[in-house]
Structure 1
Amino acid sequence: MEPIEKTITSLDWMTLTLFMALVVLALGKYLYHKKFLNFIILPFNDKYILLHNKKGQFSHWFHLLLTLFQLINLSLFIFLVSNTFELIPYEKNIATYFMILGTLTLFELVKFLVQMLTGLVFNSLNLIGSLVFSKISYLNYGSIVISFANILLIYISTGSKTVIYATISMILLIYGIGITKLLKNHQKALFPYFMYFILYLCTLEIAPLVLIGSYLKG
């Protein structure tokens, strides 16, 4: 019998990462309890968006904490997906995770700046800011689902493609609900910029998901 090489990934740093993410979420809940209660029912009620979608919303500590929670969990999920599908050819360790975290943070930051610059160019900064805040809020909400998926993939169903596909489906569902509500709530304001909005969705929202899905399928 020939020996089979098996790479064992340490769970210590993953456990610490999950713990840090939960601390960030708990801190947001403790410091801003009313906001958290509105946020936790976001897909079913727009109260959080209506109450907190105003000037300075992006710099509010509750929003920043939730975005940090999202970045930590989404980066870990991408790491676990790349591990399961063997998308990264080199050693998969904490350095790889930090590389993913840095890349994702930079991508979201650049994307945010491009979106706000677009609003400035078309003299619709308030509208674009409102749309971006709503979209990020739904993505932050989806990170709660991702955190449960990370726990399953690390401790219970290691390398389960079923968990990965189910998680991606749930994220798309939550994101789809968010986009649908955005179109419904801002249909009059978006009408003059409808073609630009469709172009934005195709280039910055849908295209990356299609590319990732095609890569996983291949």
Structure 2
Amino acid sequence: MRNYVTHEWFTIFTIIGLFAIVVAKYLNTLRFNDFMYVIGNSKYLKIYSKDQKFIDQFDSFLFINLSVSFSIFIYFTYSTFVSPLGFELVTFLKLLFAVSTIIIIKILLERLIGSLFEMDSVIDFYLFQKTTFKNFSGLIFLATNLFLLYTDRYTKGLIITCISVVCLINLIGFLTSFKTYQKLINPNFFYFLLYLCALEIGPYVLLYKVIREYNA
């Protein structure tokens, strides 16, 4: 998988992810520094959730890195555990588009649900929490991709470790949200489970099926 073309294109996309992070830090250095300590520290969530916008520049650039780095990671993971893939730019761009589209559609659907049930403030804060932890996961994907790109050793171990760390990060985010809204969730636990299946688990199952069918 690490032939010259693959190495070249993945390096270019990795640089795009790094550049997006640099721009995010340049736009708001203080916020970026607080963001780096979001795991185990609620300061970032408490301060910046109050100033969130529908389209936030800071989160937008971190989202660029998340989409690019997650797509590269999926490419490596699929090639390592399912079926070896040769790099094709068009295929990768389609994967990148699918990943970005699914994430954006999920956010829009959740905002729509919040509006329909008149829970805009709750949904906005919940989405900010979830987006923050997903963007932090993008940093983990980026760091892992650098190792996967430039070393042939411990590939499976690196991928499994990355997945475990990202799952742990998002579990922390989920528990943080659950604790915050526990009083609201408890009497509506059935609907909460439906939400998890439809909007949290379903889209990623769909993405996996799309990748499998495309490469069948």
TM-score interval, smaller chain: 0.7 to 0.9
1:188 deviates by 2.9
Give yes or no for the alignment of 1:182 onto 2:202.
Answer: no
RMSD between aligned residues: 2.6
**CA pair 9-206 structure 1, distance change in 2 beyond 3 A:** farther
TM-superposition CA deviations, 1:125-152 (whole Å, max 9, x none)? 1111211111111010011111111111
Tell me what 1:8 maps to: 3
Matches within 5 A, 1:20-39: 20-39=16-35
Q: Residue 81 of structure 2 aligns to which amino acid in structure 1?
A: F
Tell me what 2:99 maps to: 104
TM-score, structure 2 normalization: 0.86
Give yes or no for the alignment of 1:57 onto 2:53.
Answer: yes
Tell me what 2:129 maps to: 134
**Counterparts of 2:39 and 2:54 in 1: how far apart (Å)?**
20
Tell me what 1:166 maps to: 161
**CA pair 9-189 structure 1, distance change in 2 beyond 3 A:** farther
Q: Residue 134 of structure 2 aligns to which amino acid in structure 1?
A: L
**CA pair 184-193 structure 1, distance change in 2 beyond 3 A:** same
Give yes or no for the alignment of 1:83 onto 2:91.
Answer: no
Aligned to 2:41, what secondary structure does the other structure show? coil
1:8 deviates by 3.2
**Counterparts of 2:20 and 2:81 in 1: how far apart (Å)?**
29
Question: Which of 39, 43, 46 is residue 43 of structure 1 equivalent to?
Answer: 39
Question: Which of 9, 14, 20 is residue 18 of structure 1 equivalent to?
Answer: 14
**Counterparts of 1:9 and 1:104 in 2: how far apart (Å)?**
25
TM-score, structure 1 normalization: 0.85
- In the alignment, is the contact (CA less than 8 A) between 2:17 and 2:68 conserved in 1? yes
**Counterparts of 1:105 and 1:93 in 2: how far apart (Å)?**
18
Aligned to 1:59, what secondary structure does the other structure show? coil
1:41 deviates by 0.7
**Counterparts of 2:193 and 2:122 in 1: how far apart (Å)?**
15
Q: Residue 120 of structure 1 aligns to which amino acid in structure 2?
A: S
**Counterparts of 2:164 and 2:120 in 1: how far apart (Å)?**
32
**Counterparts of 1:48 and 1:87 in 2: how far apart (Å)?**
40
- In the alignment, is the contact (CA less than 8 A) between 1:28 and 1:65 conserved in 2? yes
**Counterparts of 2:15 and 2:2 in 1: how far apart (Å)?**
24
**Counterparts of 1:128 and 1:76 in 2: how far apart (Å)?**
30
Give yes or no for the alignment of 1:122 onto 2:122.
Answer: no
**Greater RCO (CA < 8 Å, at least 6 residues apart):** 2
**Counterparts of 1:157 and 1:205 in 2: how far apart (Å)?**
33
Q: Residue 113 of structure 1 aligns to which amino acid in structure 2?
A: L
